[in-house]
Each structure stands twice: as structure tokens, then as C-alpha cells.
């Protein structure tokens, strides 16, 4: 390299690019620094071989127009990983109904106002009613910021007056929920002590029974949603636990994690909220943005007196959800066919046909349609593969797909870039096809990038 034939020598210089009329005009609105950064990023892409030198100006203009149009730094991503609840990509994508509801709620709304009577009304009553209707065994319902907030509120509100309270939990269920946050530390941050029972692989009803006492605030069962313990294992079912706590009148709380409201035949190992209540849990905690497919939220359902204790606790005010969440959650609950459930239950033959059409539309990319398992993700149903297909491309496609507009995130495995359409809306296939043709035309992807 380094000869005059090196295309990197042809990358336009910064001052030449900044002299462009469109970029000069944009600098007035965005500031020179932002425009310079866009120019530098486009030059870098060309240096890495992801862009031909003559496309640098257009790439800089494209990112600058995106900046001009956008009021958020969050960028739309096409999730072509096959991982449905992708934590790094914002977990659940909202339904169209939920997105419309967000927009409607963004102005003045009657979130806490009775239009009929002209006076204050219960905040978010429509959402709470929709949640109650979606989980018929629940006597009462409450929504807070996320499941972690629900756990903190539970541990705080149920603590026993005077002295230290204990929450009894199995050693096999002391999970880390991600990004370094651990359930035991979260609960203990409330001043409650965890009383661990059993071992990592085996816990019996007698282990719980032996430690219940005056200081016990609750027995907590946690669904270890992001890992599997297999082999010589034993855990205590909700039904058995309900028996254990009944004698002592101690609340049984079950954190099911995912937000699955009813059983799903595809997800046989995932607990659901309705069954947990029917089996005797007094309080069930779940996420709104995992398998429920809605906005981030902590769902709390169960016995009326306990839910009421949580709702009246001062901390509840600090953890309450805003009108946007309430609106999106209600819309999600009232239409059970979410994007999450569509992606989970996608017909493999339909995925195959779409993937083959994509491959056929861009022969220059030289992609091959291969079997590929999707995953539930987001710390749900570990070990469960969702049979499907992927377009296998040279690995060098991954970076330009990610850096373009829209940003397309794929899975890189064993030197290949795997593009899985499970979580891609069919209307987005054409955009992907276009990007693939653009990348194939630069030929960088087929000849191999430099890094």
C-alpha cells in the first residue's frame, strides 16, 4: 500500500469538504464542531475502506441532514440479529398502537383528571383497568418504573416495624440482572436483610420453613430468567411455597421477570403472571418491556391489601411512571399481538421466503441462506432456540451495515455476517436490500476491508 493507486489518497480534504454549500449552511444551525465531526467520521469510513472516496461528501451530508432532522441522539436501528428482546437495542419495540398513544399523551391529557366531573381523578386509571383486565386473577394492580423499582418498593413497604426485616430467598435465585446489577444488592440497598436458604442447585420447602419468623417480611421467589441450572437440581414450586407461608401469614412474592401475562406454549419454561397468582403467589412482579412487549415498566399485581400497602408507601411516589409510559402500556395491553410476540412466533417458512428473496435481490452480495436460530434475549428463556433463517454474508458487511442509514445490526459468527429477518418488519426488507446493493457496489465487502 501507499502507492498513488491507494484509493485512500483520493479522500477529499477537510477544508474542501467544509466548503460545500450544504455543509456550510448546516454549520449555522448545528455549529461548526458538529459538522466537522460528521466530515471526520465520513473520512474515517473511507480510510477503513467502507466508503469509496467519491462518496465521502454524500455520507457527510447524509449524517448532517440526519442531525438537522433529529432532535434526539437516539438512532433508529434495524434489528437483524434474531434476538427478540435485545437489551442493547432497547428491549421491546413498541406496537404502532403504543407509538400513537405516546404521541397522544405527549400534550395535555386527562391522566389525573375526570373530564365529566371537572376534578382530580385517579392517575392512570385506564392503564390500571387494562392491566387488571389482562390478569383476571389479580385483586389489585400497580405500575412503577421497572421491575427493579417494583422489587425495591416491595422490600421497603413490606419491611417489619422496629429492627431489621428479612426477605427469604433461595440461593439458586440470587441473580445478576445485567450491567453489574445484582438482585441481592438491590434488595439490601433498602435496609432489608436477605435470608438465603438452600444451595445453588437445590432448595427444599423445609429450608424455607426453618427460617420463617418474626422478622420475615416476605418470601421471595425469583425466576432465574437469564441462566439455567440443570442436572441435580430442586426448587420449590409456587404452590408448595404458598403452603409454607400460609401457616405464618407471610406474603409470598414472585418475580417472574419477563412480563408474560398468560402461558405461552412456545415458552414452556417461562413462568407467567396469571398462573403465578392462581398457584398462590400473593404478589407478582414483572417487566413491561420484555415478553409483554410494551414500554419499560414494573408491573405489580396481587392481593389487594398488599398492593395497597405498596401504593400508599412514600417511595411509590418516587418510582411512579409518567404519562407516556401509562399511555404506551395501556395500548400494549389492549392489543395482545405485539411486535415481540410476532417475532417470537414468526413462521420459519415465511422467514425463509423473505430471506431467499433478499438474497435473490442482491446477487452481487454473494449471500447464502442458512438455518439460524433466533433467541428470546433480554434475559428470557435461556437455551431456547427459535428456528429460523439468516442470510450469511462476508463478515466485512457487518460494519458498513451498522454505519449506514438506517443502522442495520447483524450477528457476526465464525467469520460471517448473519442477517436474520425475524425481528425486522417486512416493510423494512426493501431498505436492507438497498443497503446491501450499495455495499456490494463499493466492493469493499467482497474484497475484504483492511482492518
Ligand X SMILES: *Cc1c(COP(=O)(O)O)cnc(C)c1O
Residues near ligand X (CB under 6 A): 146-148, 177, 222-223, 225, 255, 257, 287, 298, 379
CB of 292 to ligand X, least distance (A): 10
Pairing verdict, β 283-287 and 298-302? antiparallel
Backbone angles phi, psi at 351, to 5 degrees: -65, -40
CB of 32 to ligand X, least distance (A): 40
CB of 257 to ligand X, least distance (A): 3
Please say which residue, 301 or 439, places its beta carbon nearer to ligand X. 301
CB of 154 to ligand X, least distance (A): 11
Please say which residue, 146 or 159, places its beta carbon nearer to ligand X. 146
**Helices marked H in 48-146:** 56-69, 96-105, 125-134
Cβ–Cβ < 8 Å for 331, 97? yes
Cβ contacts of 417 within 8 Å, gap of 6 or more? 392, 393, 394, 395, 396, 397, 398, 401, 410, 411
Please say which residue, 188 or 438, places its beta carbon nearer to ligand X. 188
CB of 185 to ligand X, least distance (A): 13
CB of 301 to ligand X, least distance (A): 15
C-alpha cell, 73: 441522539
Q: Which helix (H) or strand (E) holds 323?
A: helix 323-334
| Residue written as grid cell 457476526 | 412
Please say which residue, 49 or 288, places its beta carbon nearer to ligand X. 288
Please say which residue, 105 or 144, places its beta carbon nearer to ligand X. 144
CB of 224 to ligand X, least distance (A): 7
Q: Cα dist. 365→79, 350, 442, 447 in Å? A: 20, 22, 11, 11
Please say which residue, 46 or 84, places its beta carbon nearer to ligand X. 84
Residue of 150, 212, 141 lying closest to 177 (CA atoms): 150
CB of 177 to ligand X, least distance (A): 5
Q: Which helix (H) or strand (E) holds 418?
A: strand 416-419
Please say which residue, 255 or 330, places its beta carbon nearer to ligand X. 255
Cβ contacts of 33 within 8 Å, gap of 6 or more? none
- Give the CB-nearest residue to ligand X: 257
Please say which residue, 169 or 250, places its beta carbon nearer to ligand X. 169
Other CB atoms within 10 Å distance of the CB of residue 232: 7
C-alpha cell, 409: 445490526
Q: Cα dist. 21→17, 51, 236, 415 in Å? A: 9, 22, 70, 42
DSSP 8: G
Q: How many residues does the chain have?
A: 451
| Residue written as grid cell 408474560 | 260
CB of 149 to ligand X, least distance (A): 7
C-alpha cell, 3: 502507492
Please say which residue, 221 or 416, places its beta carbon nearer to ligand X. 221
Amino acid at each position: 500500500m501507499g502507492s498513488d493507486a491507494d484509493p485512500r489518497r483520493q479522500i477529499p480534504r477537510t477544508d474542501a469538504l467544509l466548503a460545500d454549500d450544504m455543509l456550510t449552511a448546516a454549520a449555522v444551525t448545528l455549529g461548526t464542531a458538529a459538522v466537522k465531526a460528521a466530515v471526520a467520521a465520513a473520512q474515517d469510513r473511507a480510510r477503513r475502506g467502507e466508503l469509496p472516496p467519491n462518496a465521502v461528501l454524500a455520507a457527510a451530508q447524509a449524517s448532517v441532514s440526519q442531525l438537522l432532522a433529529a432532535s434526539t441522539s437516539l438512532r433508529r436501528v434495524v434489528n437483524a440479529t434474531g434476538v427478540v428482546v435485545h437489551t442493547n437495542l432497547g428491549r421491546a419495540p413498541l406496537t404502532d398502537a403504543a407509538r400513537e398513544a405516546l404521541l397522544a399523551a405527549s400534550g395535555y391529557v386527562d391522566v389525573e383528571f375526570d373530564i365529566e366531573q371537572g376534578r382530580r381523578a385517579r392517575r392512570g386509571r385506564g392503564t390500571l383497568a387494562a392491566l387488571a383486565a389482562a390478569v383476571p386473577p389479580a385483586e389489585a394492580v400497580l405500575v412503577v418504573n421497572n421491575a427493579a423499582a417494583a422489587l425495591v418498593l416491595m422490600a421497603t413497604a413490606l419491611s417489619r416495624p422496629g429492627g431489621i426485616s428479612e426477605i427469604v430467598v433461595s440461593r439458586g435465585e440470587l441473580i445478576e440482572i445485567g450491567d453489574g446489577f445484582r438482585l441481592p444488592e438491590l434488595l439490601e440497598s433498602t435496609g432489608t436483610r436477605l435470608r438465603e436458604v438452600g444451595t445453588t442447585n437445590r432448595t427444599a420447602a423445609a429450608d424455607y420453613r426453618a427460617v420463617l419468623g418474626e422478622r420475615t417480611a416476605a418470601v421471595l421467589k425469583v425466576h432465574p430468567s437469564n441462566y439455567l441450572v440443570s442436572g441435580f437440581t430442586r426448587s420449590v414450586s409456587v404452590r408448595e411455597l404458598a403452603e409454607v407461608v400460609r401457616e405464618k401469614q407471610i406474603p409470598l412474592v414472585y418475580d417472574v421477570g419477563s412480563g408474560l401475562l398468560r402461558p405461552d406454549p412456545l415458552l414452556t419454561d417461562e413462568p407467567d403472571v396469571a398462573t403465578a397468582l392462581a398457584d398462590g403467589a400473593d404478589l407478582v412482579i414483572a417487566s413491561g418491556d420484555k415478553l409483554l412487549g410494551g414500554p419499560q415498566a414494573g408491573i405489580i399485581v396481587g392481593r389487594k391489601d398488599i398492593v395497597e400497602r405498596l401504593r400508599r408507601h412514600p417511595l411509590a411516589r418516587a418510582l411512579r411512571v409518567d404519562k407516556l409510559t401509562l399511555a404506551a402500556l395501556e395500548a400494549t395491553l389492549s392489543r395482545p399481538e405485539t411486535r415481540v410476540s410476532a417475532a417470537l412466533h414468526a413462521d420459519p417458512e415465511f422467514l425463509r421466503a423473505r430471506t431467499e428473496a433478499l438474497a435473490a435481490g442482491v446477487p452481487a452480495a454473494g449471500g447464502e441462506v442458512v438455518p439460524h436460530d433466533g433467541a428470546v434475549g433480554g434475559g428470557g428463556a435461556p437455551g431456547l432456540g427459535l428456528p429460523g433463517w439468516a442470510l450469511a454474508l462476508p463478515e466485512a458487511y457487518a460494519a458498513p451495515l451498522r454505519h449506514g442509514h438506517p443502522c442495520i445490526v447483524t450477528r457476526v459468527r465464525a467469520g460471517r455476517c448473519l442477517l436474520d429477518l425475524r425481528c425486522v418488519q417486512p416493510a423494512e426488507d426493501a431498505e436492507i436490500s438497498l443497503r446491501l446493493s450499495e455495499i456490494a457496489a463499493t466492493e469493499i465487502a467482497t474484497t475484504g476491508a483492511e482492518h
